[in-house]
Amino acid sequence: MERARCLEMIYSELTDTLVVTIMGASAQELYNLGHRENFFYLQHAMGLASSIGLGLAMHLPAERVVVLDGDGSVLMNLGTFATLARYRPRNLIHIVFDNGSLLSTGGFDSHTTSGITDLAAIARGAGIEHVAAVDTAVGFGEAFIAALERNDLSVIVAKVAAVGPERYGMDLQLPENAFRFRRWIQHRKRATEQTS
């Protein structure tokens, strides 16, 4: 299964969902499907995508938040699973694309390559109730739909091939991404305040 294919499958569900990605290949593959103002690409600071997701989800209970994480990135912040479990934001879906690789930095093996380290087991052990481990496109799609319908903190660990985009580059400066992402959220907040 390829991550780009998984992203394609869920892209149409992400029109008004806050999405936070990790750096490199994940960010680029989502961007290549078509950038939206509700996408934030964390192009460095490995490990913190899910922490941003937690901050968003806890402070915006009316929004849905999807985090697109990676094995190498989440291994830098395993405590995040315990923090997520403790606060259990019901509007957060944390997807970890486990390609067993530090793909975006030259494709070195990660700790999950050999299969010894089980990120789904780590998430469960941290206290997250809804954790799915999938390795097929169908399984991924089903796990994502189940997470959408569940309305509870959900982690999906998706085993994917260690392949990425052919070219890198975005027509978007990093602070610009942050400014516009925030503006999109504030517009929506004002719009819902006016209608309610």
Ligand X SMILES: Cc1ncc(C[n+]2csc(CCOP(=O)(O)OP(=O)(O)O)c2C)c(N)n1
From the list 51, 73, 91, 154, which residue makes contact with ligand X (rule: CB under 6 A)? 73
Q: At what angle do helices 3-11 and 137-150 cross, to 10 degrees?
A: 40
Binding of ligand X by 46 (CB under 6 A)? yes
| Residue 27's binding partner out of ligand X, other proteins, Mg ion, none, with CB under 5 to 8 Å set by partner kind | none
- Residue 191's CB is within 10 A of a number of other CB atoms, namely 10
| Residue 105's binding partner out of Mg ion, ligand X, other proteins, none, with CB under 5 to 8 Å set by partner kind | ligand X
From the list 5, 13, 16, 44, which residue makes contact with ligand X (rule: CB under 6 A)? 44
Max intra-chain CA distance, the chain: 53
| Residue 154's binding partner out of ligand X, other proteins, Mg ion, none, with CB under 5 to 8 Å set by partner kind | none
The residue among 115 and 175 lying less far from other proteins, judged by its C-beta, is: 175
| Residue 182's binding partner out of other proteins, Mg ion, ligand X, none, with CB under 5 to 8 Å set by partner kind | other proteins
Residues that contact other proteins, how many (by CB under 8 A): 37
Binding of other proteins by 49 (CB under 8 A)? yes
Binding letters toward ligand X, positions 102-141, x by CB under 6 A: xxxx----x-------------------------------
Q: What does the H/E/C string look like for the chain?
A: CCHHHHHHHHHHHHCCCEEEECCCHHHHHHHHHCCCCCEEECCCCCCCHHHHHHHHHHHCCCCCEEEEEEHHHHHCCCHHHHHHHHHCCCCEEEEEEECCEEHHHCCEECCCCCCCCCHHHHHHHCCCCEEEEECCHHHHHHHHHHHHHHCCCEEEEEECCCCCCCCCCCCCCHHHHHHHHHHHHHHHHHHHHHHC
Site for Mg ion in 88-127 (CB under 5 A): 99, 101
| Residue 73's binding partner out of ligand X, other proteins, Mg ion, none, with CB under 5 to 8 Å set by partner kind | ligand X
Judge contact between 53 and 67, C-beta under 8 A: yes
The residue among 82 and 161 lying less far from other proteins, judged by its C-beta, is: 82
Residues that bind ligand X (CB under 6 A): 22-26, 44, 46, 70-73, 99, 101-105, 110
